[in-house]
Amino acid sequence: KKIEAIIGKTKFEEVKDSLLEADIEWFSYYDVRGVGKTREGRIYEESYTNQFDRKNTYINVVRDKNVEKTVQAVMQAARTGEIGDGRIFIIPVEDSIRIRTGERGDIALYNAEQENKTKRNEYK
């Protein structure tokens, strides 16, 4: 599944740390700006200098077994209880392909090589 989470920019480090603690070691992110339905009702200093909310969007494609722990990690770290905490979207992915090896499906999302190296190093 593809998980896109739009969260407050100030929560970047907390969400990153939460994902890493949940063993979600790969994600992409980028800065976005947007305006929400309740924007006019909120008053804060930034509204005088910028008409759009600053957010980060995280993008991650995970195996089905990792969807819930990824969602929970983002929710726990990003939630403030205030308007504008963000949204999480879960999108079906038809297929995934690792370009280097040509592997397809779940195995293309899972780095078995890295896990095997880690296990070998543990036994040394």
pLDDT of residue 34: 74
C-alpha 60/C-alpha 70 separation (Å) is 9
pLDDT of residue 13: 94
Cβ pair 77, 11 in contact under 8 A: yes
Give the helix/strand (H/E) hosting 58: strand 53-61
pLDDT of residue 70: 96
C-alpha 84/C-alpha 48 separation (Å) is 17
C-alpha 83/C-alpha 10 separation (Å) is 14
- Report pLDDT digits (tens) over 9-26: 899 999 999 999 999 878
109 vs 48, which has greater pLDDT? 109
- Report pLDDT digits (tens) over 77-105: 999 998 888 999 999 999 999 999 999 99
Cβ pair 90, 75 in contact under 8 A: no
